[in-house]
A and B are shown apart, each in its own frame.
Chain A
Amino acid sequence: MSSTFDAVANIIAETCDIPRDTITPESHAIDDLGIDSLDFLDIAFAIDKAFGIKLPLEQWTQEVNDGKATTEQYFVLKNLCARIDELVAAKTA
């Protein structure tokens, strides 16, 4: 989890020019860090490449729009990292 967080935080810092020390596991990518959907595409691209996965952004967006999930479940960084770890584990299983 911590190595995933470090990698994701570094990606966000580099991609969005956000000071690394302001990014914490509790940060909400949208509400706290101000990352918009376009910048999040760059982040998703970098995460996909770094971890060899495909973040299911369309599915997550649909779930949020349908009221089946909250943005916190996917965009608070500790939760995002947990999802990434799940995807990596599923890939290697």
Chain B
Amino acid sequence: MRPEVFKMVDRVVAIDPGLETIQCEGLVPEESSIFEGHFPGHPIMPGVLLIEAMAQTTGWLILARNRFEKMPFLATVKEAKLRTFVVPGQMLDLHSKILHEGSGFVVAQTKALIEGKPVCNAELVFRVLAWPEGRMKDVVMKVAERVEFPVADFANA
């Protein structure tokens, strides 16, 4: 994980064949410029970045569901709970489950665990839109390879 550049997911661990759930993981690094300010001498993962990690996890699941034909953009964060401090060196076990896929939007329930204990959860809503002009899709496809997303199974050529 490199939170300073929003690389929150290290690896896609599993996507269920029905495309209802996903599991990812991300190791909170020992060193990051994020911790210079949050907080000096007392590094804690910012809650907004925990939400970002859960959003990215859900994003991979939505991309799998539409086979990278459209891009999910976070639109609403509901009922977010940040249950405990997350500190450098801890492994986030990230899970997301689809609650509803509407026309142009997806609602998901997502959570992160550390050693089996919940540290945060939220209900997230995404708009699912056509890819913007430019190279965004290419960039996301490259990131997919980095996080071991099963491209061959869940992406159109």
Q: Would you list the 8 A-B pairs with minimal beta carbon distance, nearest first?
A: A57-B103, A58-B104, A58-B103, A41-B105, A56-B103, A57-B104, A44-B102, A48-B102
**B125, CB-defined interface residue at 8 Å:** yes
Within 8 A of A (CB), among B93-110: 100, 102-105, 107
- B residues with CB within 8 A of A: 75-76, 100, 102-105, 107, 125, 127
Chain A residue, CB-CB nearest to B99: A45
Tell me, in angstroms, the Cα distance from A55 to B104 when the chains sit together: 10
Chain A residues in 8 Å Cβ range of B127: 41
Question: Is the pair B125, A54 in contact by a Cβ cutoff of 8 Å?
Answer: no
- A residues with CB within 8 A of B: 38, 41-42, 44-45, 48-49, 54-59, 61
Jot down 26 A-B pairs with beta carbons below 8 A, ordered by A.
Answer: A38-B75, A38-B76, A41-B75, A41-B76, A41-B105, A41-B125, A42-B125, A44-B102, A44-B103, A44-B105, A45-B100, A45-B102, A45-B107, A45-B125, A48-B100, A48-B102, A49-B100, A54-B103, A55-B102, A55-B103, A56-B103, A57-B102, A57-B103, A58-B103, A58-B104, A61-B104
Chain A residues in 8 Å Cβ range of B103: 44, 54-59
Chain B residue, CB-CB nearest to A61: B104
Question: Is the pair A54, B76 in contact by a Cβ cutoff of 8 Å?
Answer: no
Rounded to whole Å, the gap between the CB of A21 and the closest CB of chain B is 27
Chain A residues in 8 Å Cβ range of B107: 45
Tell me, in angstroms, the Cα distance from A41 to B107 when the chains sit together: 10
Rounded to whole Å, the gap between the CB of B9 and the closest CB of chain A is 24
Question: Is the pair B75, A54 in contact by a Cβ cutoff of 8 Å?
Answer: no
Chain B residues in 8 Å Cβ range of A57: 102-105
Tell me, in angstroms, the Cα distance from A44 to B101 when the chains sit together: 11
Tell me, in angstroms, the Cα distance from A61 to B104 when the chains sit together: 10
Chain A residue, CB-CB nearest to B107: A45
Chain A residues in 8 Å Cβ range of B104: 57-58, 61
| Interface contacts beyond A44-B105, A55-B103: sample of 13 additional A-B pairs, CB < 8 Å, sorted by A | A38-B75, A38-B76, A41-B125, A42-B125, A44-B102, A44-B103, A45-B105, A45-B107, A45-B125, A49-B100, A54-B102, A56-B103, A59-B103
